[in-house]
Amino acid sequence: MLDPKFSTFSSKAARAMDDAFNAPLAKHTTLKIGGNANRLCHPNTVDELVELVSDLNAKGEPWFILGGGSNLLVSSEGFKGTVVRTTNLTEIKNPEPGIIEAAAGVRLPHIAKKAANLGLSGMEFAVGIPGTIGGGVIMNAGAHGSCMANILLSAKVLDTTTGELKEIAAEDLDFTYRRCKLDPLKHVVVSAVFKMEQGSAADIEKKTKENEDYRWRTQPIGFPNAGSTFKNPEPTKTAGFLLDKSGAKELKEGGAAVSSLHANFVVNLGGATSHDVTTLLKRMQDCVEKEFEIHLQPEWKKLGKFTDSELEVWKS
């Protein structure tokens, strides 16, 4: 049952959303793991998203922003709070040549193909990333030698500590490898503006298709997974290489296993729990530390209740 402290919304946002109580999260994550959330909401506009999160914050109710559900491990025990999915926020604008503005819930493969169709180069790298604009900005999503920081002009961000919605220039986000200065527990990216180079649509579409084909050849598309598991410790030493050479590719724990196609992917063979996955991640880290004396740091985020021993996986 829903915790009594989780009140109904008094704002107009409540009238424009479909919400579910005690909602299973597994079907909303690419790894297909996760217990129930107290409430699951789908705002239909940026204004509704801002109002909803502001309401939750004002009431002191725990919340989490969920986009495409990749790069995330949800506890099998669920989340005692409200999950706000951005997947209804899909507006894309091309207000002037070379500029694309996209709402938080736009999926990266979709905007990559949209940009290619417009003859805009710069987003080709994103076609194989199963995430959304909001999470992509916060995590500085990247592939094929490029990343969001290379094309972002600005992001519109809700600061939930003040209730202020402000435009932040890319140079003020302090982008580094797979992160920026925004705190996903305090900041919500509601939209982003990108600057790209005009070029030949045929050439850009060809490159985008090549990147998409590469993903299909090299990543375990056939099994639920959360994307790349660990960050690359340095450009010349990828996590996949280190895991492969340390023997981690043979590891399996319950319903979770290291992919036989790519060692930096953990797949759900069926019925895997979050405990299976965290135990497997720790074993993968131990293999690399023993062989190379390098500690791998997870790229994934986590949501829900985990034991102290499980949380060791995320310690630096």
Residue in 160, 132, 159, 161 with CA at minimum distance from that of residue 148: 132
Q: Which of 61, 77, 146, 178 is catalytic?
A: 178
The reply to whether 210 belongs to the active site is no
CA distance 226 to 289: 23
The reply to whether 299 belongs to the active site is yes
Q: Which of 76, 191, 228, 259 is catalytic?
A: 228
Handedness of CA 315, 263, 227, 155 (dihedral sign): positive
Residue in 216, 203, 227 with CA at minimum distance from that of residue 136: 227
The reply to whether 191 belongs to the active site is no
Catalytic sites, residue numbers: 178, 228, 299
